[in-house]
Amino acid sequence: MRILAIFKRAEQGVQEHPVLDGPFPTPSRSALTSRLLIRSRLEHNTFFQTEHMGTHIDAPAHFGKGSWRTQHIPIERLMGPGVIINIKDKAAKNYDYRISLEDIEEYEKKYGRIPEGAVVLMYAGWYHKYPNKTAIFNTVQHSKPEFFHFPGFHADAVQWLINYRHISAVGGDTPSFDAGFDHTFPVHEIIGAENVIGIENAAYLDRIPEAGSTIFIPVIKIDDGSGGPTRLLATYDDGVGTPGNSAENTVSRLFNFITMICAYFFRSLL
Protein backbone atom coordinates (compact mmCIF):
# COMPACT_ATOMS: atom_id res chain seq x y z
CA MET A 1 0.00 0.00 0.00
CA ARG A 2 1.26 3.47 -0.89
CA ILE A 3 0.58 6.64 1.09
CA LEU A 4 0.76 10.10 -0.49
CA ALA A 5 0.27 13.57 0.96
CA ILE A 6 -2.06 15.54 -1.30
CA PHE A 7 -1.93 18.92 0.44
CA LYS A 8 0.11 22.11 0.25
CA ARG A 9 1.48 23.99 3.22
CA ALA A 10 0.45 27.60 3.68
CA GLU A 11 4.15 28.46 3.67
CA GLN A 12 4.23 27.39 0.02
CA GLY A 13 2.12 30.40 -0.92
CA VAL A 14 -1.34 28.90 -0.60
CA GLN A 15 -3.24 31.65 1.14
CA GLU A 16 -6.87 32.46 1.81
CA HIS A 17 -9.46 33.15 -0.86
CA PRO A 18 -9.40 36.96 -1.18
CA VAL A 19 -13.14 37.18 -0.48
CA LEU A 20 -12.23 36.26 3.12
CA ASP A 21 -9.83 39.19 3.51
CA GLY A 22 -10.75 41.34 6.46
CA PRO A 23 -9.65 42.69 9.83
CA PHE A 24 -8.68 39.31 11.24
CA PRO A 25 -7.03 39.32 14.68
CA THR A 26 -4.48 36.76 13.45
CA PRO A 27 -2.05 36.80 10.53
CA SER A 28 -3.33 35.79 7.09
CA ARG A 29 -0.68 33.10 6.96
CA SER A 30 0.63 30.53 9.38
CA ALA A 31 2.97 32.43 11.69
CA LEU A 32 5.23 31.33 14.53
CA THR A 33 4.79 34.11 17.05
CA SER A 34 6.87 32.93 19.99
CA ARG A 35 9.40 30.29 20.90
CA LEU A 36 10.33 29.10 24.36
CA LEU A 37 13.46 27.04 24.99
CA ILE A 38 13.83 25.39 28.37
CA ARG A 39 17.20 23.95 29.40
CA SER A 40 18.26 23.86 25.74
CA ARG A 41 16.12 20.79 25.13
CA LEU A 42 12.42 21.41 25.53
CA GLU A 43 10.96 23.63 22.81
CA HIS A 44 7.45 25.09 23.03
CA ASN A 45 6.08 27.33 20.25
CA THR A 46 2.99 29.44 19.68
CA PHE A 47 1.53 30.02 16.23
CA PHE A 48 -1.58 31.62 14.74
CA GLN A 49 -3.46 30.71 11.59
CA THR A 50 -6.88 31.39 10.13
CA GLU A 51 -9.17 28.46 9.30
CA HIS A 52 -9.52 28.78 5.54
CA MET A 53 -6.00 28.87 4.16
CA GLY A 54 -3.65 26.39 2.56
CA THR A 55 -5.21 22.97 2.01
CA HIS A 56 -8.26 23.10 4.26
CA ILE A 57 -11.83 21.97 4.70
CA ASP A 58 -14.99 24.00 4.73
CA ALA A 59 -17.20 22.61 7.46
CA PRO A 60 -20.89 22.66 6.50
CA ALA A 61 -21.38 25.59 8.92
CA HIS A 62 -19.14 27.72 6.67
CA PHE A 63 -22.26 28.43 4.60
CA GLY A 64 -24.99 26.38 6.29
CA LYS A 65 -26.83 27.94 9.21
CA GLY A 66 -27.30 25.32 11.91
CA SER A 67 -25.16 22.76 10.05
CA TRP A 68 -22.18 20.85 11.40
CA ARG A 69 -19.29 22.86 12.75
CA THR A 70 -15.80 21.43 12.60
CA GLN A 71 -16.09 19.59 15.90
CA HIS A 72 -19.46 18.08 14.92
CA ILE A 73 -18.28 16.27 11.78
CA PRO A 74 -18.57 12.50 12.41
CA ILE A 75 -15.24 10.72 12.30
CA GLU A 76 -16.43 8.37 9.54
CA ARG A 77 -17.00 11.38 7.26
CA LEU A 78 -13.31 12.27 7.45
CA MET A 79 -12.34 9.39 5.17
CA GLY A 80 -13.80 7.78 2.08
CA PRO A 81 -13.18 6.16 -1.31
CA GLY A 82 -11.26 8.55 -3.53
CA VAL A 83 -12.85 9.74 -6.77
CA ILE A 84 -10.58 11.95 -8.88
CA ILE A 85 -12.33 13.64 -11.82
CA ASN A 86 -9.64 14.81 -14.23
CA ILE A 87 -10.62 17.93 -16.17
CA LYS A 88 -7.12 19.29 -16.71
CA ASP A 89 -7.38 19.40 -20.52
CA LYS A 90 -10.87 20.91 -20.44
CA ALA A 91 -9.85 23.53 -17.88
CA ALA A 92 -6.78 24.47 -19.93
CA LYS A 93 -9.12 25.44 -22.78
CA ASN A 94 -11.81 27.01 -20.60
CA TYR A 95 -10.77 28.56 -17.29
CA ASP A 96 -14.44 28.81 -16.30
CA TYR A 97 -15.12 25.10 -16.80
CA ARG A 98 -17.49 23.46 -14.33
CA ILE A 99 -17.77 19.72 -13.73
CA SER A 100 -21.16 18.65 -15.05
CA LEU A 101 -23.38 15.59 -14.89
CA GLU A 102 -21.84 14.57 -18.22
CA ASP A 103 -18.39 14.48 -16.62
CA ILE A 104 -19.73 12.27 -13.84
CA GLU A 105 -21.38 9.94 -16.36
CA GLU A 106 -18.10 9.75 -18.28
CA TYR A 107 -16.25 8.87 -15.06
CA GLU A 108 -18.69 6.10 -14.16
CA LYS A 109 -18.54 4.62 -17.66
CA LYS A 110 -14.78 4.39 -17.25
CA TYR A 111 -14.48 3.26 -13.62
CA GLY A 112 -17.90 2.11 -12.46
CA ARG A 113 -20.37 3.51 -9.97
CA ILE A 114 -19.07 6.12 -7.54
CA PRO A 115 -19.06 4.49 -4.07
CA GLU A 116 -21.23 5.73 -1.25
CA GLY A 117 -19.33 8.00 1.13
CA ALA A 118 -16.83 8.98 -1.57
CA VAL A 119 -14.48 11.95 -1.42
CA VAL A 120 -14.92 13.48 -4.88
CA LEU A 121 -12.03 15.71 -5.95
CA MET A 122 -11.55 17.72 -9.12
CA TYR A 123 -8.08 17.64 -10.68
CA ALA A 124 -7.79 20.74 -12.83
CA GLY A 125 -3.99 21.01 -12.83
CA TRP A 126 -4.28 24.18 -10.77
CA TYR A 127 -1.90 23.22 -7.97
CA HIS A 128 0.96 23.57 -10.46
CA LYS A 129 0.22 27.30 -10.62
CA TYR A 130 0.90 28.00 -6.94
CA PRO A 131 2.09 30.42 -5.64
CA ASN A 132 1.56 32.57 -8.78
CA LYS A 133 -1.65 34.42 -7.94
CA THR A 134 -1.99 35.87 -11.43
CA ALA A 135 -2.01 32.35 -12.88
CA ILE A 136 -4.29 30.99 -10.15
CA PHE A 137 -6.98 33.64 -10.55
CA ASN A 138 -6.25 34.50 -14.21
CA THR A 139 -6.19 38.20 -13.45
CA VAL A 140 -3.79 40.75 -12.04
CA GLN A 141 -6.67 41.92 -9.83
CA HIS A 142 -5.87 39.41 -7.08
CA SER A 143 -8.13 41.03 -4.49
CA LYS A 144 -11.21 41.45 -6.72
CA PRO A 145 -13.24 38.21 -7.08
CA GLU A 146 -15.34 39.70 -9.88
CA PHE A 147 -12.32 39.23 -12.17
CA PHE A 148 -11.54 35.63 -11.16
CA HIS A 149 -11.47 32.74 -13.62
CA PHE A 150 -10.76 29.20 -12.41
CA PRO A 151 -12.73 25.93 -12.73
CA GLY A 152 -15.10 24.31 -10.25
CA PHE A 153 -18.21 22.16 -9.94
CA HIS A 154 -21.65 22.85 -11.37
CA ALA A 155 -24.25 22.99 -8.61
CA ASP A 156 -26.48 20.45 -10.40
CA ALA A 157 -23.63 17.93 -10.48
CA VAL A 158 -22.92 18.26 -6.77
CA GLN A 159 -26.58 18.01 -5.84
CA TRP A 160 -26.81 14.82 -7.92
CA LEU A 161 -23.74 13.35 -6.21
CA ILE A 162 -25.30 14.04 -2.82
CA ASN A 163 -28.76 12.75 -3.72
CA TYR A 164 -27.79 9.62 -5.66
CA ARG A 165 -24.23 8.72 -4.57
CA HIS A 166 -24.38 9.99 -0.98
CA ILE A 167 -20.86 11.43 -1.05
CA SER A 168 -19.06 12.61 2.09
CA ALA A 169 -16.90 15.38 0.63
CA VAL A 170 -16.27 17.37 -2.54
CA GLY A 171 -13.41 19.65 -3.54
CA GLY A 172 -10.36 20.08 -5.72
CA ASP A 173 -7.01 21.72 -6.37
CA THR A 174 -8.41 25.23 -6.89
CA PRO A 175 -9.03 28.06 -4.38
CA SER A 176 -12.73 27.15 -4.35
CA PHE A 177 -14.88 24.27 -5.58
CA ASP A 178 -17.26 26.92 -6.93
CA ALA A 179 -15.95 28.30 -10.22
CA GLY A 180 -14.12 31.60 -9.87
CA PHE A 181 -16.70 33.61 -11.80
CA ASP A 182 -19.64 32.36 -9.71
CA HIS A 183 -19.92 34.86 -6.87
CA THR A 184 -23.12 33.41 -5.41
CA PHE A 185 -21.24 30.27 -4.27
CA PRO A 186 -24.07 27.82 -5.09
CA VAL A 187 -22.02 24.69 -4.35
CA HIS A 188 -21.02 26.07 -0.95
CA GLU A 189 -24.69 26.71 -0.24
CA ILE A 190 -25.64 23.16 -1.23
CA ILE A 191 -23.00 21.33 0.78
CA GLY A 192 -23.64 23.58 3.75
CA ALA A 193 -27.31 22.65 3.77
CA GLU A 194 -26.56 18.94 3.17
CA ASN A 195 -23.77 18.54 5.78
CA VAL A 196 -21.15 17.63 3.17
CA ILE A 197 -17.48 18.58 3.65
CA GLY A 198 -15.72 20.91 1.20
CA ILE A 199 -12.00 20.67 0.38
CA GLU A 200 -9.97 23.49 -1.19
CA ASN A 201 -6.36 23.84 -2.38
CA ALA A 202 -5.68 20.10 -2.62
CA ALA A 203 -2.50 19.08 -4.45
CA TYR A 204 -0.79 16.23 -6.32
CA LEU A 205 -4.09 14.68 -7.38
CA ASP A 206 -2.45 13.57 -10.62
CA ARG A 207 -0.18 11.27 -8.59
CA ILE A 208 -2.95 9.04 -7.24
CA PRO A 209 -5.33 6.75 -9.16
CA GLU A 210 -8.55 8.29 -10.42
CA ALA A 211 -10.38 5.36 -8.79
CA GLY A 212 -9.47 2.90 -6.05
CA SER A 213 -7.76 5.09 -3.46
CA THR A 214 -8.88 5.95 0.06
CA ILE A 215 -8.67 9.59 1.10
CA PHE A 216 -8.27 10.75 4.69
CA ILE A 217 -9.15 14.25 5.89
CA PRO A 218 -7.47 14.75 9.29
CA VAL A 219 -8.51 18.24 10.39
CA ILE A 220 -7.87 20.11 13.60
CA LYS A 221 -10.95 19.77 15.79
CA ILE A 222 -11.65 23.47 16.28
CA ASP A 223 -14.53 24.09 18.68
CA ASP A 224 -17.23 26.19 17.02
CA GLY A 225 -15.13 26.20 13.83
CA SER A 226 -16.27 26.77 10.26
CA GLY A 227 -13.38 24.79 8.79
CA GLY A 228 -9.73 24.10 9.39
CA PRO A 229 -6.39 23.19 7.82
CA THR A 230 -5.97 19.55 6.85
CA ARG A 231 -3.03 17.31 6.03
CA LEU A 232 -4.93 15.54 3.25
CA LEU A 233 -3.71 11.96 2.62
CA ALA A 234 -4.41 9.23 0.08
CA THR A 235 -3.66 5.51 0.25
CA TYR A 236 -3.77 3.13 -2.70
CA ASP A 237 -2.35 -0.10 -4.09
CA ASP A 238 -0.36 -0.31 -7.31
CA GLY A 239 -2.55 -1.28 -10.24
CA VAL A 240 -5.84 0.14 -8.98
CA GLY A 241 -7.78 2.78 -10.85
CA THR A 242 -7.31 1.41 -14.35
CA PRO A 243 -10.17 1.89 -16.83
CA GLY A 244 -12.72 -0.89 -16.68
CA ASN A 245 -12.25 -1.54 -12.96
CA SER A 246 -15.24 -0.64 -10.85
CA ALA A 247 -14.38 2.12 -8.42
CA GLU A 248 -16.84 0.57 -5.99
CA ASN A 249 -15.37 -2.95 -6.20
CA THR A 250 -11.73 -1.88 -6.29
CA VAL A 251 -11.87 0.07 -3.09
CA SER A 252 -14.10 -2.26 -1.11
CA ARG A 253 -11.30 -4.76 -0.38
CA LEU A 254 -9.27 -2.15 1.46
CA PHE A 255 -11.74 0.40 2.65
CA ASN A 256 -13.51 -1.54 5.37
CA PHE A 257 -10.25 -2.69 6.95
CA ILE A 258 -8.59 0.73 6.72
CA THR A 259 -11.69 2.43 8.08
CA MET A 260 -11.65 0.33 11.24
CA ILE A 261 -7.95 0.96 11.88
CA CYS A 262 -7.96 4.67 11.08
CA ALA A 263 -11.22 5.46 12.85
CA TYR A 264 -9.60 4.29 16.07
CA PHE A 265 -6.42 6.24 15.27
CA PHE A 266 -8.18 9.50 14.37
CA ARG A 267 -10.51 9.26 17.33
CA SER A 268 -7.50 9.25 19.63
CA LEU A 269 -6.13 12.37 17.92
CA LEU A 270 -9.32 14.36 17.49
pTM of the prediction?
0.84
Neighbours of 270 (CB within 10 A): 14
pLDDT tens, the chain, 270 aa long: 899 999 877 654 555 666 655 444 444 455 555 666 666 667 777 777 788 888 999 999 999 989 999 999 999 999 999 999 999 999 999 999 999 999 999 999 999 999 999 999 999 999 999 888 899 999 998 888 899 999 999 999 999 999 999 999 999 999 999 999 998 999 999 999 999 999 999 999 999 999 999 999 999 888 999 999 999 999 999 887 766 555 554 445 455 556 555 655 555 555
How much is the pLDDT for 26? 43
**What Cα–Cα distance (Å) separates residue 76 from each residue in 65, 156, 256, 265?**
22, 25, 11, 12
Whether the Cβ atoms of residue 205 and residue 6 lie closer than 8 Å to each other: yes
142: how many CB neighbours lie within 10 A of its CB?
14
The CATH fold of domain 2-10+51-269: Glucose Oxidase; domain 1 (3.50.30)
Find all residues with CB under 8 Å of 141, minimum gap 6, and list them. 147
State the number of CA atoms in the 13 A half-sphere of 199 facing the CB: 34
> In Å, what is the CA distance from 57 to each residue of 45, 52, 78, 88, 117?
24, 7, 10, 22, 16
Reported as half-sphere exposure (CB side, CA atoms, 13 A), residue 145 has a value of 16
Task: Quickly list H helices, 43-154.
Answer: 88-93, 101-111, 133-137
Contacts of 31 (CB under 8 A, 6+ apart): 47, 48, 49
> Looking at the DSSP assignment, which residues form a beta bridge with residue 98?
152
Rounded to the nearest 5 degrees, what angle is found at the Cα of 236, between the Cα atoms of 100 and 252?
Answer: 75
User: Are the C-beta atoms of residues 244 and 25 closer than 8 Å to each other?
Assistant: no
Cα–Cα distances in angstroms (integers) from residue 102 to residues 9, 45, 67, 160, in the given order: 33, 49, 30, 11
Give the pLDDT confidence score for residue 231 in this predicted structure. Answer: 93
The alpha carbon of 190 is separated from its chain's Cα centroid by a whole number of angstroms, namely 16
The rounded distance, in Å, linking the Cα atoms of 156 and 149 is 20
User: Where are the domains positioned within the chain?
Assistant: 2-10+51-269
Which of 219, 161, 149, 220 is closest to 191 using CA atoms?
161
| DSSP code at position 206 | G
